[in-house]
Every structure is written in structure tokens, then in C-alpha cells.
Structure 1
């Protein structure tokens, strides 16, 4: 068996102290990039591989040692007001998950609002650096606020929750909206429904790279063309809690006669009340963003808290490896939803054959 290549072996070959070798392999920012690149290329050539057992021991000792002051991570938002995003349960859950996981990993979350009057992005950048903040979570940007924050990304490790701003190419963590709709559609078929409608505001779909509509349109391939109800977008103010336009919704419903409607309650609840609609008497209903698991509505719980937790975990991994700056190959990590049985989707006697596949 070949002997494992050590830091001392690389140091002897490169002519550097083992400490310098260790710093280079961890992408330490204090080393010149040219030195880091040279040492990393040599380590690769020599066949160096980190010892995972040793890495686990180092992590154990770090966690077992007396706790020092928690290192700060920045939670950077851009809503119409500093805390306006908290009115949306999804965004609040992202934040709560991040705060909780940060505490468990020895970090703390500091909130930064990019809409602060009189505070430029350049000034925000200076404040972040002066406070010793090296990790950024970009989250809760208003739909339409697609401008990339003018920060010096070469100084930070960063991740993004959801897809806005789209021009910022960092590692992204999001709910799996496409799979959520596909699961809802599958459950509707399994319960015996054929004519399945999907209604939502247009901005809600574009905010997540059209993942909602993609999930619905691909699911429709499972049913005969005569049972496919066209996807219905409504144009409402982006980022607001505006409900579905009642008259337009009722016209669509009477024209297509859906047996089940997929949407989210915050959007359709007021229309249901004004039209005195009772689910499942008038039609069955599936909520793609339920806030509770009480069983009143069938739906797919989004597990948004887990999205926030994962954002911290991925960012912490970057910080531990000194991965600073924009990644060459950004990745997207998606969190699946969890199906919730509910009274709004009772089973029919006959199920479609498509549900059995």
C-alpha cells in the first residue's frame, strides 16, 4: 500500500514551511493567490489527499473547546421596508431556520437591509468588513429588485436563498417548487380527479425561474388533452399579499370547471370567501404553501425552515475551507416538500389510470 502523502512531504518538495502548505490547501486569504495556486497544483501532482479522520478530529476539538464569541454572518435583504419580508411566512421561516442553525454551529445572524436610506452598497461593504463579517446570505429580495448588490464579492463567502437577484451567480438554496407542484398533481390524480387547475400570480412564478409552471405543465402530460385546463396566471402587484381578482377568477372557474384547484391560500382565500365557495363541496383544493399541518387543507408543506438551515450549513462549509469570492461553478440545492393529507381533497371512488404509474 502506498504511503499517504503528508503536508511535510509537500513542504519539503515546495520549499515552504508546513504551516504555509496548510494555509494554501485551505485557501487562506493571507497567502498570495499565486503561492496558493502553486502549492495546490503541486499537492495534486504528488497525489495528496486530506485525511477525513483527521478532519473529523479537528472539527470535534473545535466544537468541544470552550465557546468563543459567535462569529457573525450577514443576512442581506432588500424589501420595501426593513422587516417587510417578515409578513410573508415563507421568508420568515427562511430567516428563523438560518438563525437557529447559525446558533448551533457557533455563528450569529446580523441583518442588513440594502434599502437603508442614505447607506450606499459601498458603505454597507465597508461596514461588513469592519465588523469582521466574511459570510453573506443574500435573501428576501423583492420581486423585480434584480440588481446585483454592489459589494466586493472577492472579500466574502456567499450563498443565496431563492433566485432573486438572478444576476448574482452564487450557490443557491431553494424550495423545489417544480417537484412540489408535481407531487400535488400526482396526489390529485391518485385521489381520482382528472380536471386539475392551477392558479397563481405571474410574479410568483417568475420569482422562482418559472419552476411552479414547469411542474404543472409537465404533470399535465399524464392526462388526456381534453382534461388539461390551461394554467391561469393573474397579474397582481409583485411581492404583495394581493388576492386573486375575484371576477376574473370566477370567469375562469365557470369556463373550465376544474374538479380540483391547486394554489396557495394567501392568494385565493379572500375570493373563496366573497364567492361563498366551500371546499371540497364546490371543488377540491390543494395548497402548495400551507402554513400549518393541521389537516384542514391538503397540501405540500414547503419546509422553508430547512432552506434557511441549509443556507447556513453550505456557507459555513465555504468559510471553513476559505472559499472566498464568486464560485466558478455555482450550484443549486433544493429542498423537497412534504405531503399533508387534508379534508379539502377527499378521495373519489374511481382513480385515473395515470395515478397508478
Structure 2
């Protein structure tokens, strides 16, 4: 780890990489005027040397340009609006988001500290006061899993904020999230390429609402003939209707937000080709192909939204708030192993690699 007394400079990175200091600066910022191969080499050298950008420098330059008071911003806060610390440590989704956000914050020259609203008995004002006392003015709100709108009494004017995911708060905030609409379009294209002509979709109603009905909208706009009746927005307790639903529609491909439903469909007699099952998932760790929503990338981009505001010395609620949406990644995976048997856990996990 590089100490504050011995910080690797752009000049050192440039010397080792064999390029100019300005080329290093452009490459690390992702500027389009640097060839991709050169940029990759520069980033590799920077990582090897332990280079980290100085968060203070970025803020100072913003301060000079805008002649505004300079705020302390080396630490960032990742604020969990639901759950608790113990639960988060056991939650794979939360761990992916936090690990990616922490790593990307470090690459940008910041430290990320996690906080839970539950640890201050839900008192958002109190939590904001704790962050202010610790010199934290950049806040990333972690994704939530409920569909309910979150009412949050927060002193917005004092912070640079962003949301990772599609959580609905009491005010409109900058966010990075999954583009559910484009993800469903990609699934439909993939299923069509595999020869499916009568696909059907099973999506949990509450999940669809949390996705701002993006999956539903894309299915209705780009789905098969009779798309509306071939979409089942199921609710808890309705899964016992699966066999009758399959018998009625006779789908040659299934799209769902839950891999267990495809297994249940197979148990109920659905026997179409294995590659015609697609899962819309935050991790794509299933024995089927599908969309990995890419919440590692989403968390990183949400950090960027916060850091950009800090380095411009901006606080409060931007109008309109920026929204970055990402369609995720298609993961191809076979349901059967080389021996024709159901996949082992290790084989199923290959979908996420």
C-alpha cells in the first residue's frame, strides 16, 4: 500500500509506461484520443506501481475553476436503507455491490465506509449528522429489494448523492441501474435466434414493479404474437398454477426472473431444448443462459456519479438528475454436463464467469 508520504506520481507511471505525462492522464481518465492498447498498458503499469489519484487535487481544481468553498471528501459512505450489518455479510448481492463500489472508489482515490440506517433506528437525520461529523459529504445509497417507495428525511443540500439500482426514494436522485427494457429485448433476440417461436415469460409481479415495468413493456412491444397472454406476472402462492399455464400455452422457450421456475416447469412436464430457458438475474448463476444484470458495473458507475459531483464541488439535488442505465451481459450456459446429466454446482457457476 502506498503511504501518504510516498505517493506514486503520474510522471513515474509515464516513465515506466514509456509515454508522456499527458498521455497517462488521458489514459487513466478513459479519453478517446488514446489508443485502447496504450490505455490498457498504462492502466496496468499504474496498478502495478500502486498509483492512486489524489482526491484533493481533483477537488482543488474544481474549487479553483468555480471559486467555491472546498469541502472534505476523501471518504465516501455506502448507506444501506434496509437490513442490517449481519444480514449484508451473508447476502451475495450486497457483497457484490459493496466490493465493486469499494474497489472503484479506491481507484478514484477515495475510501468507502458502510453505514446502516437500522443502526440509528431509522433516523436519517441522525445518520447524516454522523457522516458530516466524520467529514463525509459523498453518499451512495445501496440497492433495496422492496418495491415500496422510501421516504427519507435527509439534508440533501449538504451532500453529493447517488443511488445504485432502481430504488425509489422520496426525491429524484442521480442513479446507475439496470436497463430492464433493453435486457428483455436482448433475451427475445437470443430466443428467436435459437429457433423459439412461441416463447412465454414468468416474471414476479413485485420484481416487475421494482423494474419500473421495463421487462413487461419490452415483452409487450417486442414479444411474440399474443404477447400479453403469454406473460405471467405471478405472485406468491400462484406457482401451483404453473402446470396448467404450461399446458395452455405450450411454450417453446421460457423467460423468467427465477431459475427455480424453469426447474419447476421441467418437473411439470416442459421438455423443450435446454438452451431455450433464459433467466433475468442479478448474478446469472444458474444452469441456464440469461442476462447478468451486471451490478458490479452498476455500483462502479454509481460511485462515479458521486465522485463527479464532489470534484465539481456540487451538492444537493441536480435538476434533472442524471440516470445511467446498463443492459447487462448475456451469459450462455448449457443445462446439461458433458455426460448429459444435470450440471454440478461448479458447472452451473460457469455461467457467471
Bigger RCO of structures 1 and 2 (CA < 8 A, at least 6 apart) = 1
Cα distance in 1 between the residues matched to 2:147 and 2:91: 17
Deviations 1:235-277 (A, max 9, x none): 23xxxxxxx7431222211211111010134552663575476
**Aligned twin of 2:332:** 341
Cα deviation for residue 291 of structure 1 reads: 3.2
2: distance between equivalents of 1:29 and 1:250? 64
Q: Which residue in 2 is equivalent to 1:3?
A: none
- Residue 231 (1) aligns with residue 234 (2): no
> Which one of 180, 184, 194 corresponds to residue 183 of structure 2?
180
Alignment match, 2:43:
none
State the SS of the aligned residue for 2:255: strand
Equivalent residue for 2:256, pick from 254, 263, 280: 263
Unaligned runs of 5+ in 2: 1-59, 337-353
Q: Structure 1, residues 93-132: CA drift from partner, whole Å, max 9, x if none?
A: 2222111101111212111111225452121111010010
Distance 1:180 1:89, change over 3 A: farther
Which of 288, 308, 312 is the equivalent residue of 2:280? 288
Aligned mates of 1:195, 1:228 — CA distance in 2 = 13
Distance 2:122 2:293 in 1: 34
SS of 1:197's equivalent in the other structure is strand
* Structure-2 change in CA distance of 1:133 and 1:279 (3 Å): farther
Partner of 2:150: 147
2:73 and 2:271 mapped to 1: Cα distance? 51
Determine the C-alpha separation between the residues in 1 that align with 2:267 and 2:73: 50
CA distance in 1, matches of 2:160, 2:279: 36
Give the CA deviation at 1:26.
Answer: 3.0
What secondary structure sits across from 1:140 in the alignment? coil
Gap regions ≥5 residues in structure 1? 1-19, 32-68, 237-243, 346-357
Q: Name which of 205, 214, 217 aligns with 2:208.
A: 205
Please report the TM-score for the alignment, with normalisation by the length of structure 1. Answer: 0.68
Please point out which of 133, 150, 164 is paired with 1:130. Answer: 133
Structure number with larger C-alpha Rg: 1
TM-score for the superposition, normalised by structure 2: 0.69
CA distance in structure 1 between the partners assigned to 2:79 and 2:217 by the alignment: 29
Judging changes above 3 Å, is the alpha-carbon distance between structure 1 residues 330 and 103 closer, same or farther for their aligned structure 2 residues? same
Deviation, structure 1 residue 27: 6.3
Is the partner of 1:146 in helix, strand or coil? coil
Aligned to 2:221: 218
Corresponding position: 1:104 with 2:107: yes
User: Partner residue of 2:298?
Assistant: 307
- Number of aligned residue pairs: 277
Cα distance in 1 for partners of 2:91, 2:179 equals 18
**Map of 1:28 onto structure 2:** 68
Contact 1:265–1:290 (Cα < 8 Å) also in 2:
no
